[in-house]
Amino acid sequence: MSSYQFNTLQVEQTGDNVYHVQLNRPDKRNSIDDDMWKEIPQCFDSLGTDSSCRVIILSGAGKMFCSGIDLSVLAMLHDPNQEVARRAIAMRIAVKKFQDTFTSIEKCPKPVIASIHGGCIGAGSIDMTSACDIRLCSQDAFFSIKEVDMGLAADVGTLQRFPKIVGNDSLVRELVYTARNFSATEAKDIGFVSSVHADAKTLTDASIKLATNIASKSPVAITGSKINMNYSRDHSVDEGLNYIANWNMSMLQSEDLMTSVQAAMTKTPPKYKDL
C-alpha cells in the first residue's frame, strides 16, 4: 500500500523512482471538488521532497482524464449575504488558492507527465495539464477550454500557460473564445501534446517508459533543467543565462557529473544517488 493516502487521489510507485498520481473520482468524471483542490498541492509538495521520487505521471481513473471543476465548488463561492466588496475579496482569495493548486504542479521540482485519455474538458482541466512538463494522450482524447460557456474567463492558468506552450496566438484565442472541442490529432499538431497513442493501455505503457527513461538520468541535472526552463520561460534570455550561471556554479561540482563521465568511459549505465 502506498504511503500517500488521499480521498480524491490514488498514488502508487510504478517502478524505480517513478510515481503515478491518478485523479480518483471516476464516478464524477474526475471533476475537481473541494477536497481535490486541497489534495493536489499536498500531494505534489510531498512528492517534490520525496527523495525516492524522480518523475511523476498524472492521469485520471475511469473513462476520462478530468471534466473540470465540480459545480458544487462554484456554488460554495457565492454568499449572497455578503455585500459586494467583502464578497469580491473572498472571491479573490478563493481564486488565488485555486491557482496555487496547479502552480504546485509547475513548481514541483520533479518532471510531471500528463497522461490524458478521454475528455480533458471544463474549467480546470487545461489549466492542470498546462502546468505539467510533458503531455501525452490517447487517440480518443479531446480537449476544451470551456470557461466562456460557463460565463467566466479562465482564471487558474490556461490564459497564462497555454499560449506559451502552443505559440499560436490566433488559434489560442479561437479555442478560448469558442470553447470548441479539439481532438488528440489537433492537440499534437499545435504542439500541446508530444505524442498520441492508440488507446489508454498503450498510453499508460508509453508514459511509464518515458518516465522510467527520465528517472534513469541524473536527478541533479533533471531538477536543475526543470527549474531553469521554468525561469527562462518567464524572463529575458540574459536573465536566464545569469540564472543558470548562478545555479551551475554549485551544481557543476556535483558528484553526478563524475558519475556520468565514468559511466561513459566504462560503457556502463550510470547509477545516481537519490536527491
Q: Is residue 273 part of a domain?
A: no
Length of the chain measured in residues: 275
- Supply the range of the domain harboring residue 249: 219-266
- The domain that holds 27 is classified in CATH as 3.90.226.10
Residues 72-112 have pLDDT tens digits of 888 778 788 889 999 999 999 999 999 999 999 999 999 99
DSSP label of 60: E
Q: State which amino acid sits at residue 216.
A: S
Residue 68 contacts by C-beta under 8 Å, 6 or more apart in sequence? 31, 32, 121, 122, 123, 124, 125, 146
Grid look-up 504511503 returns 3
In the three-class reduction of DSSP (H, G, I as helix; E, B as strand; rest coil), residue 229 is classed as: helix
**259 and 194 co-located in one domain:** no
Under a CB-based contact definition with an 8 Å cutoff, are residues 6 and 43 in contact? yes
**Structural domains counted in the chain:** 2
User: Same domain, yes or no, for 189 and 246?
Assistant: no
Assess if residue 164 is contained within a domain: yes
Per-residue cell: 174? 479561437
Same domain, 197 and 227: no
Could you tell me if 90 and 225 lie in one domain? Answer: no
Whether residue 211 is found in the same domain as residue 230: no
Residue 203 belongs to some domain of the structure: yes
Task: Give the pLDDT score at 1.
Answer: 52
Shared domain for 211 and 224, answered yes or no, is: no
Q: Is 29 contained in some domain?
A: yes
Residue 271 within any structural domain of the chain: no
The list of the chain residues with pLDDT below 50 reads none
Q: Which residue has the cell 489508454?
A: 200
231 plus 157 within the same structural domain: no
Do 185 and 206 reside in the same domain of the chain? yes
Task: Indicate if 20 and 150 belong to the same structural domain.
Answer: yes
pLDDT for 51 equals: 97
Looking at the structure, tell me whether residues 125 and 234 fall in a common domain.
no
Q: For residue 235, is it within any domain?
A: yes
In a domain, 83, yes or no: yes
Inside any domain, residue 4 = no
Residue 173 in grid coordinates: 484565442
Look up cell 493501455; give the residue: 201
Q: Are residues 53 and 70 in the same domain?
A: yes
> CATH number, domain at 246?
1.10.12.10
Together in a domain, 210 and 253: no
